[in-house]
Structures are given as structure tokens and as C-alpha cells.
Structure 1
């Protein structure tokens, strides 16, 4: 998420050769046969082994290797320095990690700052540091045990099959809720683009905005039937590009849009912190694919440095965007900054279209991991490739229609996104990495590090509980008001 990533099932045919530390020595004979791999930005690399998918065969290359294989390609021809390969790996890893983090969450940054107060920016920085530490912990686990190649592998090493199920549950719950949020964003922005249009279908009891959303989703629906993963990979670049366009558009509004940035931002609104914590946490969710990024690096020892640089850049972008939006629009700022921008400006129209197109690029990307799991582990091998394609695309279409129905029934972006962050994302990017690390390396870490991780776990649990309660209450109250009206 920003954008918010997931994992395709495949056979691990080989493991990286390196020594296993004492803290994981009892795992050294364990062979994990299946892993869940994938993420929003990383799916583009699946095209390197698309033949495996289309022919229902087990890939000879591991999912981890193909997931971010492109991170290091072409390195020697472009970089300078004492170690061109290492430098290239670092640079491309930073670009990929930043791309994994920036997404839907950036739209709500100004809203979060305005409602939490300008001091909540320190809270945002603190969450960024916490999530960065959790990513560092994942790297430490992978460094100690090369057999762990994914987020779910780490879960299995920590708690066996229960750990794998737990990690997988969080992964697919987040993908579902994130797509609902994306569709709500599509719904909110498309009516602004086509303001003045009237397409009410009284027999279907759908408003103009709902009809336009249905049309947009049906336009995107054929992307679920794509068989060429290299074509789908193009969509991932589109999603990243859209995020950059949105940020640039807000900056141009502040500089050239004629809007005075003179609104006051309250110092602190403590009662709103639990609700906006979910928005902030969702904006840092990307940990599911960090193990893949680690494995793709030519010099994994620089993984922590990549984390520091990437999270610093993303946090800086969020803070700049948050203060820009809050100063420009004050208390009137919308949960999606694009809806607050002056409608007559060309940059506003560009930002709106970028926000509408972003969800349409996500559907196929998000469904690919599930499609591969369905084809390799559920459908029989005797079934023809064409039949499998029809089944997986049909299942994807049904799931997308369910997501559409939920988005139209609960079109409250900030509440759904906050609930996603508090209920699911906090587990993925704060709690689970530290829990796995403590469980696996209990006897190998110092008391100070142990206390630090336990404190982070406790903090994550508190944010998750209070954020979920706050977002749920706000969502229920909003739904009641809507029905009573």
C-alpha cells in the first residue's frame, strides 16, 4: 500500500547455500515444500516464469528468485564504484522497496494529520521507525536461516504449520480488504470526474456514482482473464506511476494552483489518534514481500541500509504531503486529498484520473497469487490448461464482484482503510515479525533486545485493538446515519 502485496504458491527447488546460525540449527533439516509468494509491485517479475503457470507445471525457478529478479538485471552496465554489482543492488532495492510502500495510504495523509494534529506527525515517524525495525528483524531471521524464503516460511519456522496458516490468513485478509478500499476510492473519485452526469438506474436502485463504478469495474474485469503475465506486469508499473502523479499534482496545486496554504492545523486531537493510527500503519504495510527483496539482493548485508533509506524517503514524502494538504484545505480536507483539490485545475483532473486508474491496475495484480495457488494446489493436473484458465478467471471475477458489492454497500474510505490498517496491517508490519523473531531466536538475543521486541509487540497489539474498536464504531455510526437518512 501503498501501497498494500502478495504471494504465489510454488515449489522451492533449491535453497541458497550459506551457514545456518545456532539459533536456527534445530531447523536445518526442515524442508518447506510450498510457499506463498507475491505482492502488488513484485508481481511484475512473475513473467519470467509464466510458462510454468500456463502449462500447470512446477517452476524450476523459485518464486523468490523470479519475484524480484529484475532488481539486479543490467546492473553492471549502469553503475560506477568499487563494487558496481553491490551498488546496483542497493539502488534498485531502494527503488523497489519505496514502490512497495507508497500506495493508497498517501491519499489519507493530510486527513490524518488534520484530525490528529500536527504533533501526530511525530507519531507517524515513530510508526515508520517501528515498521522499519520490524523489517530489519525479518532480515535478521533470513540471514540466520537461508531456508526461509518468504513471510510464510518464517511463520512456519516459528510455529510450524500453524504459523504458516496464521501468516497466510493475514496476507489474504489484507489483500481482500485493501481491494475493497481501492474500489471505494474508485467510487469516490469517478463521480467527481463525471460530475453532472446522470445515469440513475431506478430499476436497479443504483445512483450515478454506483453505476459509473460498476462500469469501471467491468472494464477492468477482463484483466483477470489475461494469461500472459508479462502483460499483467505492465499494470504494476502503472500503479506506481499513478502514485507519483498524485503526489506531484498536490504539490503543483500548492505552488501554482492559487490556493493559499494558510489553514491552521491543531496541535493534538488525542481522541482521534486510535482511528488515524490505522491509516498511518496501512501506509507502511509492505513487509510481506521484504523477504523476496532480501533474497534478490546481491549484497543482503545492505538490507538494513535499504530499509533505513527507503522508510526515510517514504516518511518524508508522507509528511510533506500531509502538511501540504492540511495547510491548503484545513478542516475541510477530504479523507482522499484528490477530492479536496480545486476541480477546475488541470492537475486536479490528472490526479483524479490517476486515482481512478490505480484500482483498475490492481485487480489483476492482486489476483495472480491466488490464481496460481488455485491452479497448482486445488485444480487437478489432468485438467486442460484452457479449462483451468476459465475456472481461475471465473473465480476471480466472482471475487471481484463481491468486492464491488461490499465497496458500494460501505463507501466510507477512511473507516474501511483505518480498519484494514488496525485489524490486519498492524499484524503484518509490526506484531508478527517481532513475534516470529522472539520465538525463533529466544535464546540468542540479549535481554535488552528481547524487551524491545516485547514492547513493540505490546504497542502493536494496543494499536490494533484500540484502532479496530475506534474504526469499527465510526463505521457503524456512519452506516446508521446513512440508513436513517
Structure 2
């Protein structure tokens, strides 16, 4: 999600997505320290418990905004026009409401971190609130979100690669001569294998440019859709339905996934020069991203109407140069995400290995496990190529918990003795809404996935 590119895509990502800052002086990062966009900005050191955290808090307000926006902008933006068209224009209030709720829950995470200086990341907040069970729950959801987001990224990679090469390949179902794969599937396998070596890099600062590239690709997609509306000869004259309430459970998952980046926000907080400004960072960042999503949603729905694709880039006229730019931007985005999205898992795995183990051995173990997981993700993406349903399921089943339910629950538990009644009621309402939307969305998207899977395999 991390981008949602985050980003997002964050990413974040995570939905995933950039976390950047000024480079530390040469030699300030020791060999046993890792830096990446999901573990905040700058150099790292280990605390008494062996966990890594930011060694220097040197992120300015502007850097923090860029980092948070970078985490949020990502995969989710592709589906907002489809979600608006299917939910009706009044569902834009749900999109905006999700943005406001997630900005508020981001603020709550900051308050939890402020309450306990030993807490450095999302898992620490879970530990602070509910002990070991809280940490296990947070860790499980984090890794599930990363895994399913990468499945969605790979589906997007396949779909857009198929469109990019459709003119030269003919039918997208054209069979190749290798392992009974279609030609687009074979090209997707090759693309993933090209990105695979990035999982073996130990120092993630050496691939920080991938995070920047992911953000630029996301912004480029928005610009190309706008150019289609202005210069592409496509008239924005489609009527958007007022409300299609039967589709709300499914599209709520798409909306919430668009704002998934909370697993990285604690790292942005701990890297700030002045953490007291974190709430302002959240307000500015979510305002910018919500405005971009809402604008893109209306733009895409008005341009393409009921024919709008779950990925807006696949609805754009194939003969336009801006379409080719958008398709390649969407293809390149997943390839910038794999190493960065795997970063939290890589760091956790590194900490679990014995300190006596050689650096090269650790790199081999981490790279091998990461490669195996990526190949499993590739297989799942090719077997279940239903982008909107997988994305909706990820948002409803996982992201709503990470973005709304858990932050409200953590804050309420930590500040139980001093929380005021209006705030307590607000948190309880948000938790209830999150649970209801999550449950309904999970059921709806799961049924759609099963239905499409059965339909595909029932064909002769």
C-alpha cells in the first residue's frame, strides 16, 4: 500500500514510496547498520533490545511531508476512478472521510510515541498497548499487508505489460513455448527476475533512488491522465451515478488501501527534528493526497464512465503518447517497490540471525528467503490476476486494521485513564466503522475473487 507508492508505497508501503533525507557524513553508518525508507531517515543504531532505530533526528517539516506523501501515493491511485464510478459520486465523501480518519489515526500514533520514548515503530506501539500479543498482532498485519500489496503490484505489472506489448504480440492469450505460459505471463516473469537481484542488496541506502523513482512514476500517471482530458480528444461527458450502495463494501477496501502507510509513520516521527509538528505533517500530507485522489477519481470517471478500468492507465486511448508514458510508468512502479517493500522483513530477519554469523552468510540467507517469497508472490499474481478484487481484499482485511482500528485501539488502551469522553466515543465509533467496513468488504471482495476464479476455470 506501502502506496497505495507508496510509494506507500510508503511504502507505503506499505502502499508504498519514499523516505529520504540528507545523506549522513561518510563513515557514519557502520557495516551492521541498515538504512531504508521504511526505517526512517539517516543512520541507524541498535538499542538495548537489539532493535534498530534512527541515530539522528534531522528530518525537517518539509522532508517529513515529502516522506509521508511519498508513502501514501502509490498503487491505490490507479483504482480511485473505478471506485468512484462504481460507488457513485456521493462515495467521494467516503474517500474524503477515509482520508480524514487516517490523518487522525496518524496523529494518534504520534501521541503514542510521544508518551513512551522507547517506542520507535508500529510494533513497539502494539507492545506498549497490549504487550506481546499487541506486538504479534501488529507484526502479523504488517507482513500480511506487505505480501498482499506486492501481489497487487505484480498483477498490475502483468496487466500493463500485456497492454504495452499487445500491438506486437497480438492476442494477450497468445501461448509461449515455455512452461505453458502466455506471452504476457512470460514477460512478467522476466520483469520480476530482472528486479530479483535488488533483494540481495544489504545497504538499502544504495537503492534509495528506487523510492524517488516510485514517487515520480506515481505523479507522472496523474499528469498523463490530466493530459488525456485536456489534449487527448476524450470528452469528459459521462454522467457519474449518484450512489450504488451495493458496491460500497467492495470500494471501501479500495479507498482505505489508498491511504495505507501507517506502518512507516512512526519512523517518520522518530526521524523529525521537531516531532511536535508531526500532527501538522499528517494534516498537510493527507490533505494533499486526498485532494489528488479525489481529483483523479472524478477526472477518470468523467472521462471513461462505466467503461473505466480498475487501473485507470488501461482505459486511456492506446494511440496517445501520454498513454504509452502512463503504461510504462505503471510498469516501472512495481519494479521500484520490491526491495523497498521487503526492507522491514529484511531488517527483522537480520536481527534474528546470530551476531556471530558472517555478513556474507546473512546476506545469502536474507537474499534467498526474499527471492523465494517474491517467486511465490509472482505465482499468486499469475494465478489470481484480479487486480481490483485483490486490492479491495487487502484494504478490507488488513489495511483498515492497520490504518484505523489498531491506532484507535492502541491510543485508547495507552491513555485509558486520562482520555476524555468525547475522544473515547470518537475512537469507539471509528473502530466500529472500521470493523463493519472491513467485514463487509472482506466478504464482498472474497466472493468476487472466488466467483471470477471459478468462472475462469470453468471455461473449456
TM-score, structure 2 length as denominator?
0.90
Partner of residue 59 from structure 1, selected from 28, 45, 60: 45
Contact kept, 8 Å, 1:44 with 1:233, in 2: the verdict is yes
Structure 1 residues 351 and 6: CA distance shift in structure 2, 3 A:
closer
The residue that corresponds to 1:321 in the other structure is 296
Report the alpha carbon displacement of residue 416 of structure 1 after superposing the two structures with TM.
Answer: 0.2
The residue that corresponds to 1:256 in the other structure is 231
Partner of residue 387 from structure 1, selected from 361, 372, 375: 361
The residue that corresponds to 1:230 in the other structure is 205
Report the alpha carbon displacement of residue 282 of structure 1 after superposing the two structures with TM.
Answer: 0.3
Q: Give CA deviations for 1:197-231 in whole Å, capped at 9, x if unaligned.
A: 44733551211111111111111111112234222
Structure 1 residues 142 and 277: CA distance shift in structure 2, 3 A:
same
Q: Are 1:122 and 2:111 counterparts?
A: no
The 1-side partners of 2:273 and 2:20 are apart by 19
Q: What SS does the corresponding residue of 1:196 show, helix, strand or coil? A: helix
The 1-side partners of 2:22 and 2:288 are apart by 27
The residue that corresponds to 2:112 in the other structure is 141
Regions of 4+ moved over 4 Å:
4-8, 37-40, 42-48
Larger Rg: 1
Structure 1 residues 254 and 309: CA distance shift in structure 2, 3 A:
same
Is there any run of 5+ residues in structure 1 with no aligned partner, and where? 9-36, 73-88
Q: Give CA deviations for 1:370-390 in whole Å, capped at 9, x if unaligned.
A: 12222221x333332222212
The 2-side partners of 1:313 and 1:390 are apart by 41
Q: What SS does the corresponding residue of 1:343 show, helix, strand or coil? A: coil
Contact kept, 8 Å, 2:19 with 2:71, in 1: the verdict is no
- Which segment drifts farther, 145-154 or 475-484? 145-154
Structure 1 residues 90 and 228: CA distance shift in structure 2, 3 A:
closer
Q: What is the aligned length?
A: 437
Q: What SS does the corresponding residue of 2:61 show, helix, strand or coil? A: helix
Q: Give CA deviations for 1:301-357 in whole Å, capped at 9, x if unaligned.
A: 222122111111111100110011000000000000000001111111111001001
The residue that corresponds to 1:431 in the other structure is 405
Q: What SS does the corresponding residue of 1:227 show, helix, strand or coil? A: coil
The 2-side partners of 1:439 and 1:161 are apart by 14
Contact kept, 8 Å, 1:42 with 1:289, in 2: the verdict is no
Contact kept, 8 Å, 1:110 with 1:337, in 2: the verdict is yes
Structure 1 residues 43 and 126: CA distance shift in structure 2, 3 A:
closer
- 1:210-359 equivalences in 2 (<5 Å): 210-359=185-334
The 2-side partners of 1:216 and 1:296 are apart by 34
The 2-side partners of 1:122 and 1:189 are apart by 30
Structure 1 residues 175 and 302: CA distance shift in structure 2, 3 A:
same
Report the alpha carbon displacement of residue 47 of structure 1 after superposing the two structures with TM.
Answer: 8.2
TM-score, structure 1 length as denominator?
0.85
Contact kept, 8 Å, 1:190 with 1:209, in 2: the verdict is yes
The 1-side partners of 2:22 and 2:351 are apart by 15
Q: Are 1:420 and 2:394 counterparts?
A: yes
Report the alpha carbon displacement of residue 300 of structure 1 after superposing the two structures with TM.
Answer: 2.0
The 2-side partners of 1:421 and 1:110 are apart by 16
- Which segment drifts farther, 114-123 or 133-142? 133-142
Structure 1 residues 217 and 180: CA distance shift in structure 2, 3 A:
same
Contact kept, 8 Å, 1:50 with 1:228, in 2: the verdict is no
Report the alpha carbon displacement of residue 196 of structure 1 after superposing the two structures with TM.
Answer: 3.3
Q: Give CA deviations for 1:127-155 in whole Å, capped at 9, x if unaligned.
A: 11111111111112222222222111110
Q: What SS does the corresponding residue of 1:177 show, helix, strand or coil? A: helix
The 1-side partners of 2:239 and 2:275 are apart by 45
Contact kept, 8 Å, 1:44 with 1:229, in 2: the verdict is no
The 2-side partners of 1:462 and 1:263 are apart by 32
Contact kept, 8 Å, 2:16 with 2:70, in 1: the verdict is no
The 2-side partners of 1:418 and 1:44 are apart by 29
